[in-house]
Amino acid sequence: MNNSQPLLALVVPCYNEQEVILESLSALRALLKTMMSQKQISSNSYIVLVDDGSTDNTYSLLQTRRDKNTRIIKLAHNVGHQAALLAGLHYVTDKVDCCISIDADLQDDIEVMSEMVRHFCNGKQIVYGVRSNRDSDTLFKKGTASLFYQLMQQMGVPIIDNHADFRLVSNTVLKEFSKYKEVNLFLRGIFPQMGYPSSSVTYSRKKRNGGESKYPLWKMMKLAANGITSFTNYPLKIITNVGMIVFAGSLLAALWVVYVVIADKNVPGWASITLPIYFLGGIQLLSLGIIGEYISRIYLETKQRPFYHIEEIVE
Ligand code: UDP
Ligand code: MG
């Protein structure tokens, strides 16, 4: 491994990014060139663009800009940000000294990449890009994001505050990472729990240059559900605890019923019958739903299907 001038790959998942992709590519190339001329990275460093089954012109635009420091991986169909990123990470494993993953819209500040590489040269295996602000986000996204991070941390999932998927990982980490075969990979949780020496660099996140977010609410919720179920069975514990509390409550209620009958204060009423039925019915359905989520994930894991299908690699 060459730590003084490491071979760096930038991994960029792209899905319907025709509005921004060429601009982003030029910016990334310019940055790589500067880092090369400053002898910070090897001149063989390159950019890996993973086209996640785009339905617009992203892929054909990329093909017009081929050069020796660019690789394009075309996936056969859209598999989502995490799996597309994974395709890129798998591709660069054992080909580089380190890689940095970054979104195609360059909302993350590419200027901190050279700082990330410096941390790597000083022995860090993982360097997290951490956003110092969320000014570019809507109030709703800010709220849901902070709720998500808090919830995850509370459930014991090792997740870095305000860090998404902008990070540097060394090849050592990539090689170990390739041992993870689970289908529900939640990258933001996996890397921190691997336990390698790590550090972070902070930056302020910008607004999207063009196009729109590919993370609508339902995708964010899916990501959150994946993160939780792939890392912790805390929700199942909550169910057990709620079950115990309700059971204890019903024992107390039984005592009360006995008292009422003995004391001859028995007044027939519907509320005392119907309320518990709805209450318990609700809890039972919710519990079944949560258990079902876990079972569906076991089902997916046992199938061991591949995460993505590569249609073409342009080198
Ligand atoms: N992306 C992808 N596949 C998808 C959705 C998104 O590869 O199905 C890519 C997208 O092109 C971008 C990154 O994932 O490079 C993050 O998406 P986006 O910027 O829309 O998310 P946000 O910044 O709004 O959270
Ligand atoms: Mg974005």
pLDDT digits (tens, 9 = 90+) for 10-32: 999 999 999 899 999 999 999 99
* Range scoring the smallest mean pLDDT among 159-163, 172-176, 275-279: 275-279
Chain segment 30-55, per-residue pLDDT in tens: 999 999 999 999 999 999 999 999 99
Contact 310, 83 (CB under 8 A): no
Chain segment 282-310, per-residue pLDDT in tens: 788 888 888 888 888 888 788 778 889 99
Give me the pLDDT at residue 270, please. 64
Q: Which numbered ligand comes closest to the C-alpha of 138?
A: 1
Q: Does the CB atom of residue 13 touch ligand 1 within 6 A?
A: yes
For residue 41, the CA-to-ligand 1 centroid distance in Å is 27
Among protein residues, the one with the nearest Cα to ligand 1's atom 2 is: 81
Give me the pLDDT at residue 97, please. 95
pLDDT band at 6 (very low <50, low <70, confident <90, very high): very high
Rounded CA-CA distance 126/106 in Å is: 20
Name the token pair of 265.
């204060």
Give the position of tokens 């709805």: 278
Q: Is the pLDDT of residue 1 over 60?
A: no
Q: Does the CB atom of residue 8 touch ligand 1 within 6 A?
A: no
Q: Does the CB atom of residue 213 touch ligand 1 within 6 A?
A: yes
Chain segment 54-93, per-residue pLDDT in tens: 999 999 999 898 888 999 999 999 999 999 999 999 999 9
The CA-based diameter of the chain, rounded to the nearest angstrom, is 93
Radius of gyration of the chain (CA): 25
pLDDT band at 3 (very low <50, low <70, confident <90, very high): low
Chain segment 93-123, per-residue pLDDT in tens: 999 999 999 999 888 889 999 999 999 999 9
Among protein residues, the one with the nearest Cα to ligand 1's atom 14 is: 81
Rounded CA-CA distance 121/57 in Å is: 38
Give me the pLDDT at residue 147, please. 84
Contact 96, 8 (CB under 8 A): yes
Give me the pLDDT at residue 169, please. 96
Chain segment 176-231, per-residue pLDDT in tens: 999 988 877 888 889 998 999 999 999 887 777 777 777 777 888 888 888 888 87
Pocket test for ligand 1, best of 103, 206, 219 (most atoms within 8 A of CB): 103
For residue 4, the CA-to-ligand 1 centroid distance in Å is 32
In this prediction the pTM is 0.80
Q: Is the pLDDT of residue 2 over 80?
A: no
Please provide the DSSP assignment of 161-211 as one string. TTEEEEEEEEHHHHHHHTT---SS--HHHHHHHH---EEEEEEE----SSS
Give me the pLDDT at residue 93, please. 95
Pocket test for ligand 1, best of 20, 81, 144 (most atoms within 8 A of CB): 81
Give me the pLDDT at residue 159, please. 85
Rounded CA-CA distance 250/248 in Å is: 5
